[in-house]
Amino acid sequence: MYQRPVVDADEIEVRVRWRRPQRSSCVAVMLVVAVLATGGLITSAAFNTVDRSGMRDAGRLMDRYADDLSAGVSDRAAHYGDILHVLAAAVGAQSSLFSDDYARLTAGLESARLPGVAGISFVVPATTAQLGTVQQNWRARGATGLMLRPAPGKAEHAFVIFDRAFGGNAVVPGLDVTHIPQLDNALRRAWQGHTLAVSSAFHLVRDQKLPEQLRQSSIVFAEPIYTTQGSALPDRFAGWIVMSVRGQDFLSQILLDRGQGAIQASVTESDENGAVLTAVRPGQRAQQGSLTRHRTLFIGQRRWQITMWPTTRLLESTDRGMSWLTLAAGAVLTLLLAALTGILAGSRSRALRKVDQATAALRRDIAQREHVEARLREREQQLQHLAFHDPLTGLANRALFYDRLTHALTARPERLVGLLFIDLDGFKQVNDELGHHAGDTVLRAVADRLRVALRAGDTITRFGGDEFAIILDGLATAAEARTTAERVIADVQVPIDVAGTQARVSASIGIAISRAGAAADDLVRDADTAMYVAKSNGKNRYVEAGLLT
């Protein structure tokens, strides 16, 4: 007969005591593992959420820079095109153009205000049968010693007659530019389209004496010239005004200025060659392919592509760093909770103390995070202010200017809107004689005077360099714009103290008044053209666009 073994009570107590800590240890380990797994999942999700938010912020910032750079390149190209258009119209208005006339018409153009421009040439067409007549005609008009050198194998030619060089080698008159395919193509497109045309990239003839490593990819702007023979006759094609532009000098500074050192950018041609016109590489490029931006511009019947890459500086200005802070905070918090769980399994009192410590640490972490978020919001506001204001004077920049001008023209079309486009006379002399620091002092002083002289609701903008613009919204009559221009001229010409030296500048102002259907670009173009007329007529004065003939 089977008998159950007799177990001593002391042995049972020993077994119970041995198994209880074993079970407690297993439960503690399981709780710690569960806390670590849960905390890891939550931390990973928080990291991904904050990182995506940072990427969205960086993407919005890249979009803003991309739009600003595109606008800057378009404005620069449009500005050069407007200059050529005005010059072509002036040449076409001459009943008989002589070399002295051409020198006078181009005398007001300064290389300092036309970055990258190597020269401006007057080019005329001729067939092989017309060579003798054309050569004799232009010799009689001041092109002394002109010798036309036709390109072989061509029946139609385009000869340089007059050339204005900017700080470099001039093109020898008589050169037939049809032997340069890029330039010949641009001339033909300008003639056929009756408008501005831009060439593809090539090396300028005037740069052939430079070492190979110093030659830049260059382009030309070609504007057709038409002359009026009489009121009853149609306009006659008379040639081209050709502006030679070195690509890197043309756009590099504006890319650096608009990009504020936070992005790298290049401007290339959108064709099979894809020649690089200019490129800037500030800082260190960030390896974030999704933040690369592309913009396509149509300039002079050609397509240019602007490619922009973020730098580490741009990423540092966003809240992407918060993702790593969140990861670190989450990992620390997870470890703390795991430790607290282990302590709770062994000691209630110590567990309660650890809970209190963890709660305090959590509160500090939340307070620190709120502090960081507040600083990020402040930084975002600062970036927004920088994006719409000039850093030197604190005035509105181009982006804010166009936004307010467009709103003023469209919100209440029945109201008169005036635009004053201001260029400082004598500012280059202040920079040359007293230095750029003195020039900055003058610009800030002029900005302060404009703030005092104008109404609170008027928008004052620094366009860049020594150019300013003022939006006068809600004018009763156009005479108010002229009165304001007179007040600005009087205030600007008061001497400015620069470290004990009296700096003197004056203002040339172009006035444009809104008209039915006018857009912001129309008003800016009219005011800019009027300003150039004011400068040509002796400076320190204003000219109203509506009074131009």
Residues designated catalytic: 466
Which two tokens mark 513? 């008044």
Which residues, at least 6 apart from 413, have a Cβ–Cβ distance to it below 8 Å?
Answer: 516
Nearest Cα neighbor of 404 from 477, 307, 470 is: 470
CB 408 within 8 A of CB 461: no
Q: Rounded to an integer, what is the distance from CA 192 to the centroid of its chain?
A: 32
Tell me how far CA of residue 284 lies from CA of 261, 288, 307, 314, in angstroms: 10, 12, 16, 10
Q: Cα–Cα distances in Å, from 50 out to 41, 44, 219, 326?
A: 14, 10, 46, 8
CA distances from residue 414 to 410, 417, 476, 524 in whole angstroms, order as listed: 9, 9, 11, 19
Do residues 225 and 237 touch, judged by C-beta distance below 8 A?
yes
CA distance 218 to 200: 8
Give the rounded distance of the alpha carbon of 382 from its chain centre.
18
What span, in angstroms and rounded, lies between the C-alpha atoms of 445 and 42?
56
